[in-house]
A and B are shown apart, each in its own frame.
Chain A
Amino acid sequence: EAGVAQSPRYKIIEKRQSVAFWCNPISGHATLYWYQQILGQGPKLLIQFQNNGVVDDSQLPKDRFSAERLKGVDSTLKIQPAKLEDSAVYLCASSEGQNQETQYFGPGTRLLVL
């Protein structure tokens, strides 16, 4: 069974530029999550999708971050414009259902904002 795929693996941009990350979850998984992991910290949930609907985006900085999962399968997370403090690893995860479920993580995208 293929795991969660993410691309790119690494990205370096300058502040105020835009960047987009892509995630393809495990086939059949209805729930998709985007996390931000700053160096030395645990992952922080940014947004959770159930199929193509948003379940929780309370910690998403909506002035600069956006995410979509149009067909209920793969998803993109965008930052526009990027700030220095956005430097982090962006992790995508998926699970079969919504509640009390094991989450399967992708390898992450490491973003450096200069």
Chain B
Amino acid sequence: SQQGEEDPQALSIQEGENATMNCSYKTSINNLQWYRQNSGRGLVHLILIRSNEREKHSGRLRVTLDTSKKSSSLLITASRAADTASYFCATDGGSLVFGAGTILRVKS
């Protein structure tokens, strides 16, 4: 079974708006990673946050991690049409376990 569960399953926003995706997991982790997958393509690593970190930034991406609530969020600011993709969280407790993903659509 998949450990990470993303919420919402799908999100549709206008270009320029912010997009927030959430991930919940069940067991202890070493780190949590976020990946993006464009339609018909492989996954691309976005950001890794370790279990002793609470927040991390990379360009327009901001990730938070709350280990007490076993949850993480990914914020994409000033979204662009090119951000349209599926976003997956993956928990690393020895091997990566992926959630089912959030489908993001950014309308121009």
A residues sitting closer than 8 Å to B (CB atoms) are 4, 33, 40-45, 48, 56, 91, 93, 99-100, 102-108, 110
Please classify the interface of chain A as helix (H, G, I), strand (E, B), loop, or mixed, using the class held by over half of its residues. loop
Q: Please tell me which one of the listed residues A41, A99, A102, A107 contacts residue B42 in the complex, with CB atoms under 8 A apart.
A: A107
Binary CB contact string for chain B from 79 to 105 against chain A (1 if under 8 A, 0 otherwise): 000000000101010111111110000
Q: List the one stretch of B11-19, B43-51, B53-61, B64-72 in contact with chain A.
A: B43-51
Indicate which residue in B2, B31, B40 contacts A41 across the interface (CB closer than 8 Å).
B2
Tell me which of A4, A41, A45 contacts B96 (CB under 8 A).
A45
B24 contacts chain A at the CB level, 8 A cutoff: no
Pairs across A and B, CB under 8 Å, 23 listed: A4-B42, A41-B2, A41-B100, A42-B90, A42-B98, A42-B99, A42-B100, A42-B101, A44-B2, A45-B95, A45-B96, A45-B97, A48-B95, A99-B92, A100-B31, A100-B48, A100-B92, A102-B33, A102-B48, A105-B42, A107-B42, A108-B42, A110-B40
Docked-complex contact A104 and B45, CB < 8 angstroms: yes
Give the residues in chain B near A91, CB-CB below 8 Å.
42-43
Enumerate chain A residues within 8 angstroms of B45, measured Cβ to Cβ.
102-104
B27: A residues at CB distance < 8 A: none
Q: Tell whether B30 is near chain A: CB-to-CB under 8 Å.
A: yes
Q: How far is the CB of B32 from chain A (nearest CB, A)?
A: 11
Distance to closest chain B CB from A30 (angstroms): 15
Shortest C-beta distance, A65 to chain B (Å), equals 17
Q: In the complex, what distance in Å separates the CA atom of A99 from the CA atom of B93?
A: 9
Other A-B pairs, 8, CB within 8 Å; known A103-B43, A107-B42: A4-B42, A41-B100, A43-B88, A44-B2, A93-B42, A105-B43, A106-B42, A107-B41
Give the residues in chain A near B44, CB-CB below 8 Å.
Answer: 105
Chain A residue at smallest Cβ distance from B31: A100
Task: Report the separation of the CA atoms of residues A55 and B45 in the bound assembly, to the nearest whole angstrom.
Answer: 22
Report the Cα distance A108→B41, complex, angstroms: 7
